[in-house]
Structure 1
Amino acid sequence: MKAIVKIQNLKCHGCATTITKKLTALENISEVEVDNDEHTVSFFYSDMLDLEKVKLTLNSLGYPEEGDANSLSEKAKSFVSCAIGRIS
């Protein structure tokens, strides 16, 4: 199944690199694409547990789903994830 998740705090290719790398490493997740202009992440997954795992991973990186709480700590995590993505 394919999912498209609209996320917060997505800024640049550094963010996209980190997101792609982390989600691709998850089991049963494939064809990860990040659209910086639309603030979305699309991917294929096997079941609802995989979808939840992706959302939790995105949140842990500082990119909560649109509509979810977006605290200062979430925003700070996204800057760290962005910097890591720019370096790698």
Structure 2
Amino acid sequence: MEHTFQIQNLKCGGCAHTIITRLEELEGISNVVVDNDAHSVHFSYNKTKELESVMTLLSTLGYPAEGESNPLTKKAKSFVSCAVGRLNS
């Protein structure tokens, strides 16, 4: 099965690298594609419960789904995730 989330705080390739790396570490998640222009994350998954794991991880990294709360703390986390992604890409 496949799903796409529209996310907030997505800025650059560093963000994308962090998101791809971290989501592909989740069991049952594969083929992660981040579209910076569309502010979206597309991926394949095996079970419906894995969607919640993806949403939780994205929010923890600072990239909450569109429509979710996006306080300053999440925005700050996205800058840290972005920097880490740039260093590791």
TM-score range, shorter chain: over 0.9
Counterparts of 1:63 and 1:73, CA distance in 2 = 11
Q: Deviations over 1:2-46 (max 9, x none)?
A: 000000000000000000000011000000000000000000011
Corresponding letter in the other structure for 1:24: E
Corresponding letter in the other structure for 1:25: E
When the two structures are superposed, what TM-score results if normalisation uses the length of structure 2?
0.98
The answer to whether the aligner puts 1:39 opposite 2:39 as a matched pair is yes
The alignment-based identity, stated in percent, is 56
C-alpha displacement of 1:48: 1.4
Corresponding letter in the other structure for 2:38: E
Question: Tell me, which stretches of 5 or more residues in structure 2 are unaligned?
Answer: none
Q: Equivalent residue of 2:20, what SS? A: helix
The answer to whether the aligner puts 1:18 opposite 2:23 as a matched pair is no
Instruction: Give the total of aligned pairs.
Output: 88
For the aligned residue pairs, the C-alpha RMSD in angstroms reads 0.4
Please name the residue that 2:76 is paired with: 76
Please name the residue that 1:5 is paired with: 5
Counterparts of 1:40 and 1:58, CA distance in 2 = 11
Counterparts of 1:70 and 1:47, CA distance in 2 = 27
C-alpha displacement of 1:47: 1.4
Counterparts of 1:61 and 1:49, CA distance in 2 = 19
